[in-house]
């Protein structure tokens, strides 16, 4: 690399129906990047928005030539949209950040400082989570604890997508093309030299969160099934324990009838046992089905996303 060349940093911003917050986000992020001694670009990914998000982003592009917009062909979800942005950037380092301003852009210089010390990945760790309910905080903490104990990789607690990733780590990340993407796990899986910086997370600046509890539940399933086979092991143990309990109870009932002359319990007991065993079997089949469905989707090897348009100055990377 030419030692006289300025390093380049890409800010990668997935956006889905963020019309209420984009003007303020652009104002704050631009203030930050203007003070950085690097070549910078801001890459927005319009993830099939149905409001005025694309219109606003197009206007931003006309005012600032360092801004580019990837307009995806439909809504693919945040994990795929983030992947598209990271695929597109050709900088020395990329910084994914959400557009809702919960992650303050003013933290970016601290990420870069650690990068300049030689770290490949610098992730931002939340010390507080303003604007979130106690239930969301509790379930998030439980999820991270579960993943740390049973997952194949130890995902840092209270860490989202907000981080800096250098070119070496980005190249490694691009080789992971799985369709069921849990980016927090993938960021950890690639390894390299990683370090945390702490920051306070703000409440959403405007608009409404796109993550209700149902979506968060499904997202957690993606993380668990992508980085752990613990549910399959637990279902095996559950089956063994149920079989042992049923066998023990059968011996008890048989002995009681043989030695004490008691009648074997009849229809009600039999229905309870059948219903219980049937429920266990359905749960186990559901767990197997979750994994099998993901295998099915991966074997089709479809492209992760399609880009409808690239708005802004052309990049040296073809899309």
Residues 46 and 170 grouped into a single domain: yes
- The whole-angstrom separation of Cα 200 and Cα 125 is 8
Residue 17, pLDDT above cutoff 50: yes
In a shared domain, residues 171 and 22: yes
Place of tokens 């039999």: 270
- Is the same domain home to 150 and 286? no
CATH code for position 108: 3.90.550.10
Identify whether the C-beta of residue 120 lies closer than 8 Å to the C-beta of residue 94: no
The percent of residues in the chain predicted with pLDDT above 90, rounded, is 1
Query: Do 61 and 110 fall into the same domain?
Result: yes
Give domain status of residue 185, yes or no. yes
At 96, is the secondary structure helix, strand, or coil? strand
Query: Could you report the per-residue pLDDT of 290-311, keeping only the tens digit for each?
Result: 778 777 777 877 888 898 888 8
Each residue's pLDDT tens digit, 165-207: 899 889 988 888 888 787 877 888 888 888 888 887 776 555 5
Two tokens, residue 313: 């100055």
User: Quick check: 316 pLDDT over 50?
Assistant: no
**How wide is the angle at C-alpha 282 spanned by C-alphas 280 and 288, nearest 5°?**
105
Query: Is 152 inside any structural domain?
Result: yes
The Cα–Cα gap between 146 and 154 comes to: 10
Report which of 180, 151, 216 is spatially closest to residue 290, judged by C-alpha positions: 180
Residue 251 within a domain: yes
Residue 234 in tokens: 């637990």
Per-residue model confidence (pLDDT) at position 319? 41
Residue 161 lies in a domain: yes
Cβ neighbours around 314 below 10 Å, total: 9
Asked whether residue 38 falls in the same domain as residue 85, the answer is yes
Distances from the Cα of 186 to the Cα of 121, 175, 191, angstroms: 12, 11, 9
Q: Are residues 284 and 308 in the same domain?
A: no
Given pLDDT bands bounded at 50, 70 and 90, which one contains residue 317?
very low
Residues 183 and 257 in one domain: no
Are 308 and 293 in the same domain? Answer: no
Q: Which residue has the tokens 């956006």?
A: 15
For the segment 95-127, what is each residue's pLDDT rounded down to a tens digit?
998 888 888 888 889 888 888 888 888 988 888
Res. 265: pLDDT tops 60: no
Distance in angstroms (rounded) separating the CA atoms of residues 67 and 34: 13
Q: Is residue 223 part of a domain?
A: no
Q: How many CA atoms lie within 13 A of 219 on its CB side?
A: 20
Confirm if 57 and 15 have CB atoms less than 8 A apart: yes
Tokens of 242: 């149920």
164 in the same domain as 72? yes
Residue among 300, 284, 207 at smallest CA distance from 20 = 207
- 204 & 252 share domain: no
Q: What pLDDT does residue 207 have? A: 52
Return d(Cα 125, Cα 142) in angstroms, integer.
16
**150 lies in the same domain as 249:** no
DSSP string, 116-143: HTT-SEEEEEEEEETT--HHHHHHHHHH
Q: Would residue 225 count as lying in a domain?
A: no
Sorted by sequence, the CB contacts under 8 Å of residue 137 that are 6+ apart come out as: 129
> Residue 111 is part of which domain span?
8-212+302-312
Domain identity same for 166 and 270: no
Any bridge partners for residue 195, and if so which? 122
Question: Contact 12/94 with Cβ under 8 angstroms?
Answer: yes
- Indicate the number of domains in the chain: 2
> What count of Cα atoms within 13 Å lies in the side-chain half-sphere of residue 122?
21
């Amino acid at each position: 690399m030419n030692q006289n060349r300025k390093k380049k940093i890409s800010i990668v911003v997935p956006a889905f129906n963020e019309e209420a917050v984009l003007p303020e986000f652009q104002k704050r992020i631009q203030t930050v990047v203007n003070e950085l001694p690097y070549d910078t670009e801001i890459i927005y990914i319009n993830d099939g928005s149905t409001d005025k998000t694309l219109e606003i982003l197009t206007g931003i592009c006309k005012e600032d030539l360092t801004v580019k917009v990837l307009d995806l062909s439909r809504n693919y979800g945040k994990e795929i949209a983030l992947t598209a942005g990271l695929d597109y950037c050709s900088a020395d380092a990329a910084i994914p950040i959400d557009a809702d301003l919960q992650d303050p852009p003013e933290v970016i210089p601290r990420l870069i400082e650690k990068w300049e010390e030689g770290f490949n990945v610098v992730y931002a760790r939340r010390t507080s989570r303003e604007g979130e309910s106690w239930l969301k905080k509790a379930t998030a903490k439980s999820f991270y604890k579960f993943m740390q104990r049973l997952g194949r990789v130890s995902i840092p607690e209270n860490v989202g997508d907000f981080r800096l990733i250098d070119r070496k780590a980005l190249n490694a990340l691009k080789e992971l093309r799985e369709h069921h993407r849990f980016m927090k796990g993938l960021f950890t899986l690639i390894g390299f030299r990683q370090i945390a910086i702490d920051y306070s997370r703000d409440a959403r600046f405007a608009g409404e969160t796109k993550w209700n509890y149902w979506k968060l539940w499904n997202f957690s399933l993606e993380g668990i099934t992508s980085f752990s086979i613990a549910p399959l092991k637990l279902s095996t143990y559950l089956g063994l324990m149920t079989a042992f309990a049923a066998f023990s109870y059968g011996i008890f009932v048989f002995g009681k009838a043989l030695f004490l002359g008691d009648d074997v319990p009849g229809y009600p007991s039999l229905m309870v046992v059948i219903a219980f065993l049937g429920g266990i079997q359905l749960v186990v089949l559901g767990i197997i089905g979750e994994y099998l469905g993901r295998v099915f989707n991966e074997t089709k090897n479809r492209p992760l996303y399609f880009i409808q348009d690239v708005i802004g100055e052309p990049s040296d990377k073809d899309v």
